[in-house]
Chains A and B, each alone.
Chain A
């Protein structure tokens, strides 16, 4: 898979251990309480917010949906979701994490996704679900000149080639 490193831009592709949890309509409050209790951390309140905690990145991807993305090497949290409150699906096999950094990254990304690099909603620590060449991707702003794209595995090569300009 296209990975490239040059003076002003680096791109690498990594696995993406990930669990999706979802709460039912109506009992969302209780669901969030119980989850944040067992994770020992308050959940991101609104879509696009993220919370980092014990090697776990908690992202709200929809009003009732959260993604728990694991940093390399951290174990999947022993999280049991009460079926009366919600459910969970592992998604870690089906996604790839494209990590990008470089001074010219904003300009480069602007040719790929419709995200305003300078907007508060794309500030470091924020997540944006959007599309990249018709493919649904999750944009993670990881730093001043760094970001990640969580992309469906089957498209990962096509998209990384595209980023790398192949």
Chain B
């Protein structure tokens, strides 16, 4: 079993979680009309053989969506964090004046 260390619930078997796929693709804004952007978001995947940032939801636990960094070659997990936290950081980054 993968053991995913939920930041608030502790280490759990991965069957407590729901997989959410590649977390490196960014979802276009809800009102982004660009078909290309949506096409890439929905379909295109880098699918690396190596470190992979991916979404998991602790669905039978705290129900938080997490971002897990895991090596697809050996399943070793390097980091786990709340998707919200990372997202927040990202957006603040974007907000900061260039």
Contacts and interface: CB of A to CB of B under 8 A. Distances in A.
Contacts, number: 40
B61 A46 contact: no
A25 B82 CA distance: 13
A130 interface: yes
B9 interface: yes
B8 A136 contact: no
Question: How many residues of B sit at the interface, in one of the four size bands?
Answer: 10 to 19
A62 B64 contact: yes
B8 A25 contact: no
Contacts of B10: 48, 121
A78 interface: no
Contacts of B13: 114
A114 B13 CA distance: 8
Contacts of A65: 62
Interface of B: 8-10, 12-13, 15-16, 59-64, 82, 84, 88
